[in-house]
A and B are shown apart, each in its own frame.
Chain A
């Protein structure tokens, strides 16, 4: 608990200029228009609303975009998506069994996990996916410190978080920082 490795500086020095993001504007507008077309089931009259909404959504998504350009790796997606779907299915079944069980088998614990991902965006992405994994819900994220609320301390949360982190690193194509102890031992 007393040990605190040095804070990893964010790799902000490689930030591209803001205007580079604007190149993505037409692509995003096209993607939102495609989405509109799917949702509106090809109704032509709906484009009166669809076109302005697509443009507005593209503008909002660019203004909210992280300053760093990132893209998902195909190989990383092939590793991440099946894992995420399988684990979230297990997570739903696990919590459903616990909710229906007459004795409510709960032994909740708050685990503090030190992330090894160097990138803020990847960290936020991981923190959000954690909430669908079995028995875990991300409670707080402060730089590289992630607090995870766990339903039952007998669940292998550390192993799940490590394999999730490896896959998120592969998804974003970033290296994980070296470190040994990642989960702080629970205090008695």
Chain B
């Protein structure tokens, strides 16, 4: 059991290191978020599981599972909020990024997509009159 928890510690630490490496190596903000969200979530989960196995107590298990649950609930929310803020405020994407369909259709101040119009305000096309 000791070796198993040691292996979990090492796997967790390696994943957190990879998350850090990815943040440095990835070419734009959204891809860095991919890296920091997913790898770090797995890394923290492995470390917490290793600690729970090491101590083998109900109270430590309960706290470790609570921490893992919190990470799984909060990390994607934070990633979505950061990613949305970056995407909607026009942080430049990597040049290789394909098909940014929102290009030129997004009004930054009002957060309104101009096409399709049904999604935004269902106003008739009054503005199109020259």
Contacts and interface: CB of A to CB of B under 8 A. Distances in A.
A88 B79 CA distance: 14
A160 interface: no
Interface in B72-130: 72, 75-77, 79-80, 83-84, 87-88, 93-94, 96-102, 113, 115-120, 122
Interface residues of A, number: 51
A109 B30 contact: no
Among B26, B101, B113: residue with most chain A CB under 10 A: B101
Contact of B63 (A6, A7, A41, A111): A41
Given A132-B72, A137-B33, A139-B83, A184 B101 contact: yes
Contact of B59 (A41, A112, A129): A41
B30 A149 contact: yes
Given A104-B25, A131-B83, A110 B102 contact: yes
Contacts of B83: 131, 137-139, 149
B116 A39 contact: no
Contacts of A141: 84
A131 B27 contact: no
B118 A95 contact: no
A111 to B, nearest CB: 8
Contacts of A74: none
B119 A108 contact: no
A137 B119 contact: no
B102 A108 contact: no
Nearest to B42: A92
B42 A140 contact: no
Contacts of A39: 63, 66
B53 to A, nearest CB: 18
Given A42-B59, A108-B93, A131 B31 contact: no
Contact of B30 (A1, A100, A137): A137
B27 A106 contact: yes
Contacts of B62: 38
Contacts of B118: 4, 6-7
B5 interface: no
A133 B98 CA distance: 20
Given A38-B66, A106-B31, A100 B18 contact: yes
Interface in A88-145: 88-89, 91-96, 98-100, 104, 106-112, 127-132, 135, 137-145
25 contacts: A4-B118, A7-B118, A7-B119, A39-B66, A42-B59, A92-B38, A95-B34, A95-B38, A100-B21, A104-B25, A104-B26, A104-B27, A108-B96, A108-B98, A112-B101, A131-B75, A132-B72, A135-B34, A137-B79, A137-B80, A140-B87, A141-B84, A149-B87, A184-B101, A187-B99
Given A41-B59, A109-B97, 17 more contacts: A4-B116, A38-B66, A42-B59, A92-B15, A93-B42, A96-B38, A98-B22, A99-B21, A107-B96, A108-B96, A128-B76, A137-B33, A139-B83, A142-B119, A143-B119, A186-B99, A187-B99
